[in-house]
Amino acid sequence: MSHPLRVLFIGEAGADAIGAELERGGYQPSFARATTQAELERALTGSWDIAISDFALADFGALQALHTIHEKAIDLPVIVVSGKIKDSDVLSALKAGAADHMTRSNLMRLNAAVEREIRAAKSRRDRIRLEEQFHQAQKMEAVGRLAGGVAHDFNNLLTVITGYSDLLLTSRELKDNQRTALEEIRRSAERGGALTHQLLAFSRRQPMVSRAVHVNDLIIQIEKMLRRLIGEDIDLITIPAATQDTVTADPGRLEQVIMNLVVNARDAMPQGGKLTIETATIHLGDNFSAKHLGVPAGPHVTVSITDTGVGMDEETQSHLFEPFFTTKGPGSGTGLGLATAYGIIRQSGGSIGIFSEVGAGTTARIYLPLAETKGQTATEMAPSDSALSGVETILVVEDEARVRKLIVDVLTSRGYHVMEATRGEEAIRLCKQLKGKIDLAVIDVVMPEMSGPDLVKQVAPVCPKMRVLYISGYTDEAIVHHGIPQSGAAFLQKPFMPDSLSRKVREVLDTRSNSAC
């Protein structure tokens, strides 16, 4: 089988003999010729596998060609083929960067040299691509850390805004226009919290936190963000048609997958088009699961993302889920998006497939097993508002003053006896003074001088029966770093509503686990 070979021949004569030798080596060469500096510069705008140059060509030859190629920083191997020349001229060509030299009367090493140089050039390009991807990953790591810190401060602000808006809305003395304004403030803050969560989904690194997710509702919730993401020249149509849509997945990670697929669809429609997101409930048979995607047979929820873009050929589709493979230009993608999406869906027990034809658009389809629905038992029923009050003693440890005051105000209004501390050392002193009389500690995970988990370890001998509820505005990565999921401790993510705080506090107080030791 012949291998196509694009050859840039710099010279006037000898191409026929070189072509014949390459054909004997299993190549199918196609030649372009350059005999002057101007012709070489025009030719270098194209793409070549190898350059073969005569040493001397009137006032232009291999040395000038090598200088031009290196000056333009083009990674193109050059093999010098000449008549009989002096050893010093051979040495000059090799010093100038020639990959090899041979005479026209002895081309036996030509095919081996071509194969060697093409392989070396590919290795260099692969190394450069990996280095670029590594630097891009480093930049994304820095952006992720910055986003985590910003999210913490932003979530603290949103906690105060949503919290006091909610408290004011409980007043019966509000005028209609005041109530309308407060409701708009609260809704805007809620959208801000949801937007922060969605944006941080791209930079998270944490174990899957799976729960029951209604796929139809998830698509509806992120629809507005998707419309902003794709731009006005693409018509977005959502069809949440799954008759049963409950799956077990991490909702943040599932959003990440859908948004990544939507971005790919947008990039495939540079002139605009139509993007359709549709959910469905299907039953996969044994034959389909075995021959197509290898997913278990049974009922599944599908999310199909279909675009009217340029489409892809079979060769491109065969590499889509490979790490670092991308069809985008330099600097436009890391090649990790689909690989990450594949891993997330597989972790959720499902699979993902891409179906495409050149010129006919692309459909990306997610398959997730349908979750078993269970009725809510009496112990799982949410407590009523009247059951959210209490008389227990609660210690609030929070370094952000406005958030701390909100928590104290909410819990005090519910009848609890509340004490507050701004730092770990102050909290330790209070625990020692009360000697086991604190029923619950609401503790920020990340604080100056001492983290929440470190504080709990120190007070455990003094307050062994004290329940613990951690709160934080940091990303999940920071929470994992402090070991919160592994400990099984109760946790509430900022921003939260007063009712959410009250319900979580009551839930922890009524549960025998979540104690300090």
| pLDDT for position 380 | 41
Whole-angstrom distance, CA of residue 409 vs CA of residue 392: 15
Q: Could you tell me if residue 141 is inside a domain?
A: no
Claim to verify: residue 359 and residue 273 sit in the same structural domain = yes
In the chain the first and final C-alpha atoms are separated, in Å, by 71
| pLDDT for position 77 | 94
Q: Could you tell me if residue 498 is inside a domain?
A: yes
For 473-502, what is the mean pLDDT? 69
Q: Could you tell me if residue 460 is inside a domain?
A: yes
Q: Could you tell me if residue 25 is inside a domain?
A: yes
pLDDT at residue 334 greater than cutoff 50: no
% of the chain surpassing 90 pLDDT: 30
Last residue of some domain: 84, 108, 132? 108
Both tokens of 180, joined, read 């309308």
For 449-455, what is the mean pLDDT? 88
Claim to verify: residue 240 and residue 336 sit in the same structural domain = yes
CATH code of residue 96: 3.40.50.2300
Contact 40, 68 (CB under 8 A): yes
- Give the pLDDT confidence of 137-182 residue by residue, as tens digits: 676 566 666 666 676 677 788 888 888 888 888 787 888 888 888 8
Q: Could you tell me if residue 320 is inside a domain?
A: yes
Domain count for the chain: 3
Last residue of some domain: 321, 342, 369? 369
CATH code of residue 359: 3.30.565.10
Q: How far is CA 200 from the centre of its chain?
A: 9
| pLDDT for position 31 | 93
- Give the pLDDT confidence of 382-432 residue by residue, as tens digits: 455 556 788 999 999 998 888 899 999 999 989 999 999 999 899 999 999
**pLDDT band at residue 494 under the 50/70/90 scheme:** confident
| pLDDT for position 205 | 43
Claim to verify: residue 104 and residue 235 sit in the same structural domain = no
Domain coverage including residue 408: 379-509
pLDDT at residue 377 greater than cutoff 50: no
Claim to verify: residue 307 and residue 406 sit in the same structural domain = no
Exposed/middle/buried for residue 431 (C-beta within 10 Å: 0-12, 13-18, 19+): buried
Claim to verify: residue 422 and residue 362 sit in the same structural domain = no
- Give the pLDDT confidence of 438-447 residue by residue, as tens digits: 999 999 988 8
Count of CB atoms within 10 A of residue 508's CB?
22
For 298-322, letters b (16+ CB in 10 Å) and e give eebbbbbbbbbbbbbeeeebeebbe
β partners of residue 194: none
- Give the pLDDT confidence of 350-363 residue by residue, as tens digits: 888 888 888 888 99
Last residue of some domain: 73, 108, 143? 108
Claim to verify: residue 447 and residue 337 sit in the same structural domain = no
Global pTM exceeds 0.85: no
Q: Could you tell me if residue 421 is inside a domain?
A: yes
More confident call, 306 vs 221? 306
pLDDT at residue 204 greater than cutoff 60: no
β partners of residue 479: none
| pLDDT for position 226 | 84
More confident call, 342 vs 143? 342
